Amino acid sequence: MIYTVTLNPALDKTVEIPNLTIDGVNRISSMRTDPGGKGINVSKVIQKLGGTSIATGILGGETGHSIESALKEAGLNSFFHYVEGETRTNLKIIDTVSHTNTDINEPGVTVSEEILSKLLSDLSDRIQEGDIVVLSGSIPKGAPENTYYVWTKACRKLGAKVILDADGELFREGIQAAPYLIKPNHHELSAFAGKELTTPTEIAQAARSLMKEWEIPKIVVSMGGKGALYLTKTETIYAEGLEVPVGSTVGAGDSVVAALALSEEKGMSLEETVRLSTATGAANVMCSGTQAAEYEVISELISKVAMHTM
């Protein structure tokens, strides 16, 4: 089973505003709302890919209940712990003329370590050896910076494969527990390396160093429109980015993680994983907001993926 953890979920409100004007009146041309947060986005995409997952995390207030109801209505399995306060609502502004994406994210609820421990205990009671746990996104106020380190260590002890998608201190702390797979983007990897990494070769070298230092079996480094690097202990593949019409880049990285998790569960080869995750990421870029792309769109892109062994 694949479990996705979203400790700081959100109700994502996506609006389109042609010619967004700062310090002026703007009119919305279209709007949609979706249950969001990186782990929840991963679960939505896994479902579109024909897989099954269980989403978990922390919710609060009426917004939290709205998110849980939306997931249930969509046929997604979940279990959440509730806290006082209101789950955040994030505003995504798409300027269809300037082709820009602007995120305005609320801080969300405040949690205690006691709540986090209870949720981790609930998750631990369900995990079986060989399960996959996706830890991704920001953490709420009150959660310590080593939260992903603690959760990764606990899940690994139970025999689960942990996929970590985080940045900053969460990334630095989390990798010390040796997750099974990490997915930084090249900016995050550059920040960790302390220097700007621009070429696939430079990025691959930095990823290899990270893999060796922390004994991480698999690393995927996304490079936006330029594609991504996929590394195992014995292989490195560079996948070129697919040129597609951009609806929204929000959630594109989460869709890649979804494909990586499902590929791992199904035991796909590295080449199959590269094709599926690249196509899934591109297909979701074509969607509005954090809406998940239909599999038919993803399937049409799989054969178009170009990759090179390094």
Neighbours of 176 (CB within 10 A): 14
Query: Which residue bears the tokens 């160093």?
Result: 209
What distance in Å separates the CA atoms of residue 156 and residue 193, rounded to the nearest whole number? 26
What letter represents residue 119's amino acid? L
Give the bridge partners for 16, in sequence order: 30, 94
- Which distant-in-sequence residues (6+ apart) come within 8 Å of 152 by Cβ? 135, 162, 164, 174, 177, 178, 179
Are 146 and 115 spatial neighbours (Cβ–Cβ below 8 Å)?
A: no
Q: Which amino acid is at 67?
A: I
Q: Which of 12, 131, 165, 254 is catalytic?
A: 254
Question: In 3D, which of 144, 68, 100 has the Cα closest to residue 250?
Answer: 100
Structure tokens at 45: 């995409």
131 a catalytic residue: no
State the residue for tokens 């996706």.
134
Distance (Å, rounded) from C-alpha 159 to C-alpha 129?
A: 4
Instruction: Write out the catalytic residue numbers.
Output: 254
